[in-house]
């Protein structure tokens, strides 16, 4: 615990897309930082990044990197997290990990702070959920008083979800070149393949959404299915959600529940062309919800559409929000 009220912070994977966004989000939040250490692979060590106008040199990640620090934000891939997060934990740090390495570990909290902050107390390693899951469970949590009976997702995921390589491939193919990263020309089609295919016909991304939704909402038996699609949008994921509810509802009550829930902005006037868009969500830490309507195919069934900045709320902002809320509640 910090004695001064400020914290010594490490960013692991500082030179990556999410790592650099951590720097922006920490600065915007005026996070109480005393010392800030930027860490990456030997290949990236020596690069210079900026934080609040100060030039910081990236250091190579080693087991001794965490000595004397309080908090580590990880965004360097699952392998690095599996190897180094336990080391940081052993040295007393709170680790907030953006990879998938710890998400399905029963002893590790999978946390969206507006939904289940209490789960951060399970372990000094805290998992940041999948980006599309984060933006989906916030409005689903608002609907919990109506009783969640089943959930079906269809996602429209931006290329930034693949990191810099995805963004480069979209720009490359928009310029008329052949794709080098995606299996098809992302500038000309949507690609219903994110991560690897599994034996059950789902992709790993789709099963992440299934399993993570259940874990975050503490509903292990909730029926959930997902179809995850990469779309030719640079940044900002969208998810169409169909949710069956246990109880009868009025649309006005659903909208009121969304409006009252922390982290949600309702944009729901389709007649005025007001509904969630990636442009609307750009740079924001909120989840934008709209197209709220009854599902005509089933009783007590609801449809809505949600959008969020997947690099911010879907990754860096969610992690920083976890840390800030933990500090506010004296959990760090």
**Is 237 considered catalytic here?**
yes
**Is 190 considered catalytic here?**
no
Among the listed residues 10, 70, 228, 237, the single catalytic one is: 237
Q: Give the long-range contacts of residues 68-71, CB within 8 A, separation 24 or more.
A: 68/8, 69/8, 69/9, 69/10, 69/35, 69/37, 69/93, 70/1, 70/2, 70/7, 70/8, 70/9, 70/94, 70/332, 71/7, 71/8, 71/9, 71/10, 71/95, 71/96, 71/323, 71/332
The predicted structure's pLDDT at residue 332: 85
Among the listed residues 10, 70, 131, 228, the single catalytic one is: 131
Residue by residue, pLDDT tens for the chain (332 residues) are 565 689 999 999 999 999 999 999 999 999 999 999 999 999 999 999 999 999 999 999 999 999 999 999 999 999 999 999 999 999 999 999 999 999 999 999 999 999 999 999 999 999 999 999 999 999 999 999 999 999 999 999 999 999 889 999 999 999 999 999 999 999 999 999 999 999 999 999 999 999 999 999 999 999 999 999 999 999 999 999 999 999 999 999 999 999 999 999 999 999 999 999 999 999 999 999 999 999 999 999 999 999 999 999 999 999 999 999 999 999 88
């Amino acid at each position: 615990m910090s004695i001064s009220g400020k914290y010594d912070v490490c960013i692991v994977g500082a030179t990556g897309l999410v790592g650099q966004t951590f720097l922006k989000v920490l600065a915007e939040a005026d996070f109480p930082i005393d010392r800030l250490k930027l860490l990456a692979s030997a290949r990236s060590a020596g690069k210079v990044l900026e934080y609040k106008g100060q030039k910081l040199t990236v250091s190579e990640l080693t087991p001794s990197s965490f000595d004397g620090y309080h908090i580590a934000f990880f965004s360097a891939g699952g392998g690095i997290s599996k190897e180094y997060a336990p080391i940081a934990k052993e040295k007393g740090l709170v680790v907030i990990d953006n990879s998938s390495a710890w998400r399905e570990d029963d002893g590790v909290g999978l946390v969206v702070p507006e939904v289940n902050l209490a789960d951060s107390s399970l372990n000094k390693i805290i998992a940041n959920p999948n980006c599309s899951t984060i933006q989906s469970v916030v409005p689903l949590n608002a609907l919990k008083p109506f009783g969640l009976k089943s959930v079906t997702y269809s996602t429209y995921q931006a290329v930034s979800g693949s990191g810099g390589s995805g963004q480069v491939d979209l720009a490359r193919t928009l310029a008329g070149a052949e794709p080098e990263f995606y299996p098809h020309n992302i500038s000309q089609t949507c690609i219903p393949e994110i991560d690897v295919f599994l034996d059950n016909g789902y992709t790993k991304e789709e099963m992440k959404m299934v399993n993570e939704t259940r874990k975050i909402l503490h509903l292990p038996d909730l029926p959930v299915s997902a179809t995850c699609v990469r779309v030719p949008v640079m940044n900002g994921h969208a998810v169409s959600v169909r949710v069956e509810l246990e109880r009868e509802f009025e649309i006005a009550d659903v909208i009121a529940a969304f409006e009252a829930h922390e982290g949600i902005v309702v944009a729901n006037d389709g007649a005025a062309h007001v509904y969630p868009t990636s442009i609307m969500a750009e740079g924001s830490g909120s989840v934008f919800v709209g197209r709220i309507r009854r599902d005509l195919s089933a009783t007590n069934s609801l449809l809505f559409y949600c959008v969020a900045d997947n690099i911010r709320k879907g990754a860096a902002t969610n992690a920083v929000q976890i840390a800030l809320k933990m500090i506010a509640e004296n959990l760090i």
